């Protein structure tokens, strides 16, 4: 397989292009570790590392073994996607840890819109090595979980909790999920403060999610994503002298948004704050590149600087709208030390260990036999329209609007209903396929979003 795309030498957004929504980031010893949602794809929870915030290297996913978490029942309903949503990554060293014994924590939710929500924590001492713990389950019915490690080593869980549905399954008008908090034991997932308690609300009484807590200069700062993850998406900030609130509203909320504008970068929201090793603050956030009402690469990871006023409130992106050009109000991090892994780009090559490879839902690895730059794939009854379970599919995220992809296919069907080829795939509802089908010489072109199918007879 060949996969080429355009590259730019000047620092610009998105810093991680293509399907990389819901970013969360930490900096440890001069290395940045960033995680994203993966929805219905395996490995679950993508992980990238960088030394300069611009060049990112993919690692193994935070769940890279089968049997721990299943997304086989996760489907797409309209534009709502189920599966692995909104991870948060944090790093903590207790008073008994030395520098090499700190631990990374990733907390996330596996959700089905039918009501099932599976919240869990996985840990590691080295995300680059990619050996993560088994998931630790947390009894929480909601989405967008986060962790805050206080200076006294207490750990607090925040999340967006769904209200209990009445017997008829219909929520009263105006009843929305709420941001809640509880103290937890991160080693067991057990709450140490009883049931989750209300913490913050959206500033306008709307939909709030994606909560994070930070401590700076004696203030606990709360960050939220508000008003959905589409065109009205935004970032809001709050603060309190107590971890339990009450929280006051940032005087200029929302602190980051593109709504009501004709900017190319839209849907800005679901951010996370972090510091680099020089003490500068940054935010990563999701956004889309909107063109003619479409954003074919989905939600991508963008970066902006964050500065602090004398009154203790943060300013995102120098008060400007997020654009493709980075707003350089402060220097980018300087690489602390040479690292071959962190300076070697990873291309879309067909090798079984390539961290850019993704599989649909819970893959059946017995369907794939790897060779030198090639793979033999055994077909399954499930095809690309099948809403649940896995298909015989190997994927790469498209990371550029201008890309060229080619693949050599040797097809040996045993029946007329078998098919092999190449697909530009979003989900079971939206994909464009070029394939060879059955014991014929027909090449089939299928566009599921437009409901079109065209067969062209090949010559020779």
Query: How far lies 44's CA from each of 47, 59, 409, 424, in Å?
Result: 9, 12, 28, 20
Range in 114-123, 206-215, 241-250, 257-266 the model is least confident about = 114-123
Which has the minimum average pLDDT: 91-105, 129-143, 292-306, 405-419? 91-105
Nearest to 381 by CA among 418, 429, 333: 418
Identify the residue with better confidence: 406 or 152.
152
Q: Which of 186, 200, 198 is nearest to 122 (CA)?
A: 186
Q: Which of 238-242, 397-401, 431-435 has the lowest mean pLDDT?
A: 431-435
Question: What is the per-residue pLDDT for 444?
Answer: 62
Reported in sequence order, the residue ranges of 2-135 that DSSP labels E, i.e. its strands, are 2-5, 24-28, 31-36, 41-42, 46-50, 57-59, 76-77, 80-81, 83-92, 103-111, 117-124
Give, rounded to a whole angstrom, the gap between the first and last alpha carbons of the chain. Answer: 23
**Cα distance between residue 245 and residue 238, in whole Å:** 10
Residue pair 416/438 in contact by the 8 Å Cβ criterion: yes
Average pLDDT over residues 427-440: 84
Of 83, 136, 82, 126, the C-alpha closest to 104 is 126
209 is catalytic: yes
With bands split at pLDDT 50, 70 and 90, how would you rate the model's confidence at 15?
very high
Which sign, positive or negative, has the C-alpha torsion 403, 303, 356, 209? Answer: negative
Picking from 37, 8, 23, 58, the residue whose alpha carbon sits closest to that of residue 287 is 23
Contact criterion met (CB below 8 Å) for 285 and 304: yes
pLDDT band, very low/low/confident/very high, at 331 (cuts 50, 70, 90): very high
Name the token pair of 261: 């504008």
| Catalytic hit among 22, 144, 227, 272 | 22
Q: Does residue 183 have an active-site annotation?
A: no
Q: Are 269 and 235 in contact (CB under 8 A)?
A: yes
pLDDT band per the 50, 70, 90 thresholds, residue 162? confident
Catalytic residue among 82, 209, 226, 276: 209
Task: Quickly tell me which residue has 């730019």 as its tokens.
Answer: 8
User: Under a CB-based contact definition with an 8 Å cutoff, are residues 52 and 25 in contact?
Assistant: no
The token pair that represents 158 in the structure block: 């925040």
Per-residue confidence (pLDDT) for residue 70, from 0 to 100: 94
pLDDT at 449: 59
The overall average pLDDT reported for the chain is 89
Sequence-distant contacts of 251-255: CB under 8 A, at least 24 apart = 251/313, 252/313, 253/203, 254/203, 254/226, 255/314, 255/315, 255/316
């Amino acid at each position: 397989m060949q996969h080429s795309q355009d590259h730019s030498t000047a620092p610009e957004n998105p810093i991680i292009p293509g399907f990389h929504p819901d970013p969360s980031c930490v900096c440890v010893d001069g290395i940045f570790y960033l995680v994203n949602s993966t929805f219905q794809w395996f490995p679950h929870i993508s992980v990238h590392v960088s030394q300069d915030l611009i060049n990112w290297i993919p690692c193994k996913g935070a769940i890279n073994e089968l049997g721990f978490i299943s997304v086989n029942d996760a489907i797409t309903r309209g534009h709502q996607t189920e599966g692995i949503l909104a991870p948060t990554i944090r790093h903590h060293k207790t008073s008994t840890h030395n520098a090499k014994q700190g631990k990374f924590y990733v907390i996330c939710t596996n959700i089905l819109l039918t009501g099932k929500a599976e919240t869990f924590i996985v840990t590691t001492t080295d995300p680059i090595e990619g050996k993560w713990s088994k998931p630790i389950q947390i009894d929480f019915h909601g989405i967008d979980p986060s962790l805050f490690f206080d200076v006294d080593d207490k750990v607090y869980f925040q999340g967006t909790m769904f209200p209990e549905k009445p017997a008829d399954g219909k929520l009263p008008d105006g009843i929305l999920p709420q941001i809640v908090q509880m103290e937890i034991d991160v080693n067991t997932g057990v709450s140490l403060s009883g049931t989750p308690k209300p913490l913050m609300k959206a500033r306008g009484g709307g939909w709030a999610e994606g909560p994070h807590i930070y401590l700076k200069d004696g203030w606990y700062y709360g960050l939220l994503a508000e008003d959905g993850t589409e065109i009205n998406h935004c970032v809001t900030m709050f603060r309190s002298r107590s971890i339990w609130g009450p929280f006051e509203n940032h005087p200029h909320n929302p602190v980051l948004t593109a709504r009501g504008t004709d900017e190319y970068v839209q849907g800005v929201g679901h951010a996370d704050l972090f510091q680099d090793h020089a003490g500068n603050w940054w935010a990563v956030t999701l956004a889309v590149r909107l063109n003619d009402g479409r954003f074919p690469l989905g939600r991508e990871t963008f970066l902006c600087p964050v500065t602090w006023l004398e009154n203790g409130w943060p300013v995102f992106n120098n008060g400007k709208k997020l654009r493709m050009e980075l707003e350089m109000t402060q220097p980018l991090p300087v690489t602390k030390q040479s690292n071959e892994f962190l300076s070697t780009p990873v291309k879309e090559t067909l090798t079984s260990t390539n961290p850019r490879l993704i599989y649909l839902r819970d893959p059946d690895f017995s369907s794939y036999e790897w060779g030198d730059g090639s793979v033999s794939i055994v077909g399954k009854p499930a095809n690309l329209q099948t809403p649940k379970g896995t298909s015989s599919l190997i994927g790469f995220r498209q990371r550029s609007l201008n890309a060229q992809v080619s693949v050599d296919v040797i097809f040996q069907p045993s029946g007329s209903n078998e098919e092999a080829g190449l697909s530009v795939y979003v989900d079971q509802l939206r994909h464009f396929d070029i394939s060879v089908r059955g014991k014929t010489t027909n090449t089939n072109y299928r566009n599921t979003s437009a409901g079109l199918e065209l067969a062209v007879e090949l010559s020779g």
